[in-house]
Amino acid sequence: MTNTKPKKKGKSLPPKLIISLGKYVWTTLWHLMMSRLAPRNQSGEYIRPDSQFRNFVSAAEASTYQPATGRYKLYVGLGCPWAHRTLVVRALKGLEDVISVAIVEPSATTGGWVFTSEEEGCQTLPQLYELAQPGYTGRSTVPVLWDTQTKTIVNNESAEIIVMLNSEFNEFAANPTLNLYPKELQEKIDWWNQKIYTSVNNGVYRCGFAQTQEAYNKACDELFNTLDEIDAALNQSRYLCGNNVTLADVRLFTTLFRFDIVYYGLFKCNRRRIQDYANLGAYLRDLYQLPGVANTCDLESVKQDYYGNLFPLNPGGIVPSGPDMAFILKPHHREKIGAI
């Protein structure tokens, strides 16, 4: 005779308890991971650490780092907006044959940058930093301006590297007369740079890495207030400081290029897309279509680096198929503003 008595089922946890436990565990782990990824203050606002290597390439007689062709190398991540700045200036100035480039990729397992092929006997960027400064314990970031002669890091602050690329290699540049930081505009360029860095370049990260609602709201308001201000200014001139491109435009461009691709969704900057602004959308197209700039832009690397590697923001690691960036090749008609 078959025993048809139903087996006792083990008691399951009530769904409410499961959800509460899961939320507690995930939130705790999220804060732990975010503390390493994005240092914050007591208000939950993201605080970007300062760069540590701040030497300069200069033709001055006392300078350790003299301008030369083939001596220096840039280490960059194609998804990184800060590294992207250096590639844009390198292209605009025509320094491709003067300063070489090596690519690093983010590792989802180690949380750091790794080389696509061995560099200076190193497999990872932290190893290169250790080679430059034995005992180094700080953050290992890109871009890196590396001196192949002394085997050390000259500078890892993008804002300073692009100033050097603009002025210190003209002897070897294909476009030596292009000056992206002219003396007569430096005060205005610096003013825009400070505003854009705080509210836009770093502002999108302050939104995406905010760890409280209040910190997010503050960063998001500042971001879009500044974008509105820039959009209005671009109704008066082709570029931020007049009718010629400057370093201020370069520094803004690399954030704008990534905005609709990753910041709009992943970083919760979704009040408005750049392509929907009256002037910013066309301005982005104008900069993208400058000679050499498009070759520095890697859409798929941007998506992979952000969606595939920022685990705390995208635990599933799913990389979206969009957005459609075909608009970036459409005519911008910004030269008409320059002619007025």
**What digits encode the pLDDT tens for the residues 123-137?**
999 999 999 999 998
Q: For 205-211, what is the mean pLDDT?
A: 92
Q: For 246-268, what is the mean pLDDT?
A: 98
Task: Give pLDDT, residue 112.
Answer: 84
Residues 293, 287: contact at Cβ < 8 Å?
yes
Task: Give pLDDT, residue 21.
Answer: 65
Count CB neighbours of 33 within 10 A: 16
Angle between helices 299-309 and 247-258 (to 10 degrees): 60
Q: What is the band of 264 on the pLDDT scale with cuts at 50, 70, 90? A: very high
Q: What is the dihedral of CA 10, 15, 21, 27, to 10 degrees?
A: 150
Residues 97, 106: contact at Cβ < 8 Å?
no
Task: Give pLDDT, residue 16.
Answer: 75
CA 340 – CA 337 distance, rounded (Å): 5
Q: Rounded to the nearest 5 degrees, what angle is found at the Cα of 36, between the Cα atoms of 31 and 40?
A: 70
- Tell me the C-alpha to C-alpha distance, in Å, between residue 199 and each of 47, 205, 329: 13, 10, 27
Give pLDDT tens digits for 152-165.
999 999 999 999 99
Q: What is the dihedral of CA 56, 59, 61, 63, to 10 degrees?
A: 10
Residue from 65, 80, 264, 277 carrying the catalytic annotation: 80
Range in 138-142, 229-233, 326-330 the model is least confident about: 138-142
- Whether the per-residue pLDDT at 84 is higher than 60: the answer is yes
CA 247 – CA 292 distance, rounded (Å): 16
CA 50 – CA 329 distance, rounded (Å): 36
Give pLDDT tens digits for 102-127.
999 988 777 689 998 999 999 999 99
Task: Give pLDDT, residue 168.
Answer: 98
Active-site annotation holds for 205: yes
CA 23 – CA 323 distance, rounded (Å): 31
Looking at every residue in the chain, the average pLDDT score rounds to: 90
Task: Give pLDDT, residue 81.
Answer: 96
- Whether the per-residue pLDDT at 3 is higher than 70: the answer is no
Q: Rounded to the nearest 5 degrees, what angle is found at the Cα of 321, between the Cα atoms of 224 and 78?
A: 70
CA 267 – CA 307 distance, rounded (Å): 10
CA 240 – CA 230 distance, rounded (Å): 8
Angle between helices 247-258 and 186-196 (to 10 degrees): 20
Task: Give pLDDT, residue 38.
Answer: 55
**Which tokens in the block code for residue 63?**
């300078």
- Which DSSP letter does residue 57 get? B
- Whether the per-residue pLDDT at 324 is higher than 60: the answer is yes
User: 117 by DSSP, 3-state: which?
Assistant: strand
**Which tokens in the block code for residue 333?**
């008609």
Residues 295, 87: contact at Cβ < 8 Å?
no
Residues 169, 95: contact at Cβ < 8 Å?
yes
Give pLDDT tens digits for 61-76.
889 999 999 999 999 9
Closest of 117, 114, 130, 110 to residue 53, by C-alpha: 130
Residues 120, 152: contact at Cβ < 8 Å?
no
183-339, CATH topology level: Glutathione S-transferase Yfyf (Class Pi); Chain A, domain 2 (1.20.1050)
Is the whole-model pTM more than 0.85?
Answer: yes
**Which tokens in the block code for residue 132?**
């430059």
Active-site annotation holds for 122: no
Sequence spans of domains, the chain: 36-178, 183-339
Residues 295, 91: contact at Cβ < 8 Å?
yes
Task: Give pLDDT, residue 45.
Answer: 61
CA 251 – CA 245 distance, rounded (Å): 11
φ, ψ of residue 9 to 5 degrees: the values are -90, 140
Pairing outcome for strands 122-124 and 144-147: unpaired
Task: For 36-178, give the CATH class.
Answer: alpha beta
